Chain A
Amino acid sequence: MPDLLSQYADAVGVAAVDHLRQLAAPLRGIRVVHVNSTRVGGGVAEILSKLVPLKQELGIDARWEVISGDSLFFKTTKSFHNGLQGSKVTVDPRELAHYEETNAENATEMRELLEEADIVFVHDPQPAPLLKLVPRRRGKWIWRCHIDVSRPNRRVWDQLSVFLSGYDASIFSLAAFAQGLPHTQYLIPPSIDPLSEKNMPLEEADVQAVRDEFGIDPSRDMILQVSRYDRFKDPVGVIQAYRLAKRFSPGLQLVLAGGGADDDPEAGDVIAETQAAADGDPNIHVLLLPPDAHRTINALQRAADIVLQKSTREGFGLTVSEAMWKGKPVIGGDTGGIRLQIIDSHTGYLVSTPEGAALRIRFLLHRRKRLEEMGARARDYVRDNFLLTRHLREYLTVMISVANRAEERIELE
């Protein structure tokens, strides 16, 4: 089994991996600790499960620690999470006190490691109070926010920001998410992992098996949207676009693939609305997939001719990069992080209405050469911009930056 860096070199090219090695050279031997609240499940754990071993291969003494807590703690941090995304939630004084107490218990367990670390990355709100609980820390502490905080519930943000102001820096995914914090705020977009189950290459037989499972006809065009059943993802708008496009492509099939999030009370309503809009059309497949259906989603994205992400509001929308990595042009809503991933008319199209989406579907289905060229450009664009290796490069750059103060230019010897 080749080492991880060699595996990534196969996906992103040897030059990109050499670049990482050179950039990491001055960081060899430093002690870095990442702290989050779960070892498995969710995007943060998925990223850390690869970033930490990659840093170790680059000679960095990287560790990954996970805080523990009871159900009240996680209920409170879920409220923080939802509040940061703008929900009208409250965190009452009892919950806040328990949040701090739980972090204090975790700080006691990790104290020596955290005090000795040269750089500590604290991910999301759950472990944010750790900084204040480790007063004898010697390294630089960075808060990494993976959440869309473009329009936070101000009361919740104020409660959390008390714990953040002492950090040496923070990292947000988009400029629109940055907040009024008294330190440098780096911008690092998220990434996809080309070696993960969701993005790894698949055999055609695997793709065909998924087509067979859901009754998708490979001889007819198929368009796909992968997303939670959420009104901001506009699944009903996607069905409208499909119907408009189908008048000119009668064999067209639409697959809507997503999960019913347990923590989203509106999901059931949106699924019902989507099924009502589908109105029994046998060529519309409304799929409810379990959260670990990564391989199925991978196959559906590869089976599609065009992928849609017709959101009306979006944090980042990494499903766009996932589809582009599979060489598919994406028709996406003109909002949030989708704008960073789709270069209009080059790697896909940005649209604002079902009519706009339908027009682009028609255009691409009737211009197969253009569709394929666009898909190839989309894949190249993701390779250079939205793979884990770029994410790692920017983490390394931030580590050098905080160690050298955030001056505009840092020359390493």
Chain B
Amino acid sequence: MAEQEHYNPPGGLAIKDCALVAIATGRRARDLRELRDGILEADVASIYYHFWGGLLRPTFDDPRYHNGFAIWVDHALHFSSLAEKLSVIDPIDFHDMDGLRKRLVAVIDSELRPGEPCPEAPEDNFFDFIRSQIVVFRTSCTLADPVELPAALAAMSRTSIFYHFIDARRRTPDSTDDFTCWLNDIDRDGYAELTTRLASIDPFFATLVETREELTRTFEDQFAR
């Protein structure tokens, strides 16, 4: 499937929506070393799921940890210092999942001592590596002009925000979002200030509803002028 098809249909921006379903990989970690090896060998789809999958569930004002690995390291291994180090890793700092995978392994390696026992999880709290599958479908909405963005954003579902602003990072040439791609295609220089603002929105530490609000405000600032 051509990458271009996903984000820039002729004639405007087709608003899409998505649904995720989780799939067991069969891989399970009982201790920190097995978690490390699992991260090293797991399908990138699994790394993706444990970082971003949680965003499709509601998050709370102040979740202590921000990805599935950190949550498990704290909850099952009671290794809060490592959980903090894992939690601060922001996936948008990485162009691809392999870069993120290497960073995770490096952080865990810094805490593992060769020959020394490593923390183990209780029998009923092993880490299950999960991957997700995304089904993308069209909505009835297609935008012909960027001035339509503020109203369109305000009406978008959480999953649609996920697709266009987060999932897009995996399929757009510059690891950016669908709105930026569309604006660049129309007038890269004219929308440079706006796309810079979009790039500064970090969706990882916000809920999808908060991200939608911030995007809506950003587009309103631009197009209400």
- On A, residues with C-beta under 8 Å from B are 15, 19, 22-23, 25-26, 150, 172, 175-176, 178, 180, 184-188, 313, 335-336, 339, 343, 346, 377, 380-381, 384-385, 393-394, 396-398, 400-401, 406-413
Contacts and interface: CB of A to CB of B under 8 A. Distances in A.
A411 to B, nearest CB: 5
A397 B20 contact: yes
Contacts of A406: 23, 133
Leading 8 A-B pairs by shortest Cβ distance: A175-B128, A178-B24, A187-B22, A397-B21, A185-B24, A412-B137, A346-B60, A397-B19
A411 B136 contact: yes
A72 to B, nearest CB: 34
Contact of A401 (B6, B60, B126, B135): B135
B24 A408 contact: no
Contacts of A385: 57-58
Nearest to B126: A176
Given A15-B157, A313-B124, A384-B58, A175 B24 contact: yes
Q: Is the interface of B mostly helix, strand, loop or mixed?
A: strand
28 contacts: A15-B157, A19-B159, A22-B138, A22-B139, A23-B135, A23-B137, A26-B137, A175-B22, A176-B124, A185-B24, A186-B21, A187-B24, A188-B21, A335-B124, A343-B60, A381-B58, A385-B57, A393-B19, A396-B19, A397-B19, A397-B21, A398-B21, A400-B135, A401-B133, A409-B1, A409-B134, A411-B1, A412-B137
B101 interface: no
Given A313-B124, A397-B135, A377 B60 contact: yes
Contacts of B66: none
Contacts of A178: 24, 26, 128
B21 A411 contact: no
Contacts of B26: 178, 180, 185
Q: Which of B17, B63, B133: most chain A Cβ within 10 A?
A: B133
A172 B133 contact: no
Contacts of B5: 411
Given A19-B157, A22-B139, A335-B124, A409 B133 contact: yes
Pick from A396, A398, A410 the residue with the most CB of B within 10 Å: A410
Interface size bucket, B side?
A: 20 to 34
A172 B136 contact: no
B24 A172 contact: yes
B13 to A, nearest CB: 15
B216 to A, nearest CB: 16
Contacts, number: 97
A15 B135 CA distance: 18
B164 interface: no
Given A401-B135, A407-B133, A409-B133, 14 more contacts: A15-B157, A22-B138, A25-B137, A26-B137, A175-B24, A176-B124, A178-B128, A185-B23, A188-B21, A346-B60, A396-B19, A397-B20, A398-B21, A406-B23
Contact of B21 (A176, A339, A394): A394
A70 B96 CA distance: 57
B134 A408 contact: yes
B45 interface: yes
A186 B135 CA distance: 14
A187 B137 contact: no
A343 B6 CA distance: 35
Contact of A22 (B6, B17, B23, B45): B17
A188 B63 CA distance: 24
